[in-house]
Amino acid sequence: MVGYRRYVDLIGELAAGRRLFVSGMTEEVDRCRKALELAMDGEVVSLVSGGDPGVYGMAGLVLELNRVRGVEVEVIPGVSAVNAAASRVGAPLMHDFAVLSLSDLLTPWELIERRIRCAAEGDFVIALYNPRSRRRVEQIVRAKEIIRSHRPGTTPVAVVTNACRKDESIVITDLDNFTDEEIGMLSIVIIGNSQTERHGNRLVTPRGYRTKYADSFQG
């Protein structure tokens, strides 16, 4: 089993009794390479990823590195952070949504900004991965400005950190105020579309049943 230390720790009992190769953040390439080398030696290897390995996870990188190797790789889907976060605040993703990472470590900021603008123009519910880190604090402010030019400041926003894990924190706020909250690399920010409603501590993006079944909806 190969993985980022934090994620291997999270699945404690599944890791018990296995040969473990754990390493730290930013060592993704080394981990994938190690997993592929072990597989080429005939081992059955689990490469552990947080959430869904296919969403900003390890699946893409290991497949890219495997191109010259040709190891048999099976991708096992999971509950991505955005799905976990959404479940904790109601049903904000009930209608069309866009998922973006604000990290410009591997993506030019111009492209990220263009995507934020398009997602805002399309009235997508917008989910942000990697919204802010200790050193990267301006991107979330710029994202807010862009979205704010398309949606009212009262648009509901959820900030969920460590969704469905120990130390989970949940804040329901709005577009004008969410950047004042504690937001880090383990947070997901979900920004409602023009229809998203807040009811107590729940966000719901209606799908249209109320309009269609108006006669009987309250009953």
Nearer to a second copy, 15 or 125 (CB): 125
Work out how close the CB of 180 gets to a second copy at its nearest, in angstroms, rounded to a whole number.
25
Work out how close the CB of 99 gets to a second copy at its nearest, in angstroms, rounded to a whole number.
5
Helix, strand or coil for residue 149? coil
Structure-token pair, residue 206: 């209606």
Question: Is 162 in contact with 84 (CB distance < 8 Å)?
Answer: no
Q: Is 99 in the site for a second copy (CB under 8 A)?
A: yes
Nearer to a second copy, 21 or 176 (CB): 21
Non-local CB neighbours of 159 within 8 Å, separated by 6+ positions: 169, 170, 171, 173, 178, 181, 182, 183, 187, 188, 189
Binding mask 154-193 for a second copy (x = CB under 8 A): ----------x-----------------------------
Q: Is 88 in the site for a second copy (CB under 8 A)?
A: yes
Segment near a second copy (CB under 8 A), from 14-22, 132-140, 165-173, 205-213?
205-213
Segment near a second copy (CB under 8 A), from 8-16, 81-89, 139-147, 172-180?
81-89
Report the site for a second copy in 114-153 (rule: CB under 8 A).
114-115, 117-119, 121-124
Segment near a second copy (CB under 8 A), from 61-69, 134-142, 151-159, 177-185?
61-69
Non-local CB neighbours of 5 within 8 Å, separated by 6+ positions: 22, 23, 24
Among 101, 98, 108, which residue's Cα sits nearest to residue 133?
A: 101
Report the 10 Å Cβ neighbour count for 77. 11
Q: Is 93 in the site for a second copy (CB under 8 A)?
A: yes
Q: How is 74-106 classified by DSSP, letter by letter?
A: -------HHHHHHHHTEETTSS-EEEEE---SS
Q: Which of 76, 145, 153, 165 binds a second copy (CB under 8 A)?
A: 76
Q: Is 94 in the site for a second copy (CB under 8 A)?
A: yes
Q: Which of 80, 155, 161, 179 binds a second copy (CB under 8 A)?
A: 80
Q: Is 46 in the site for a second copy (CB under 8 A)?
A: no
Rg (CA), the chain: 20
Strands 125-129, 90-91: parallel, antiparallel or unpaired by DSSP?
unpaired
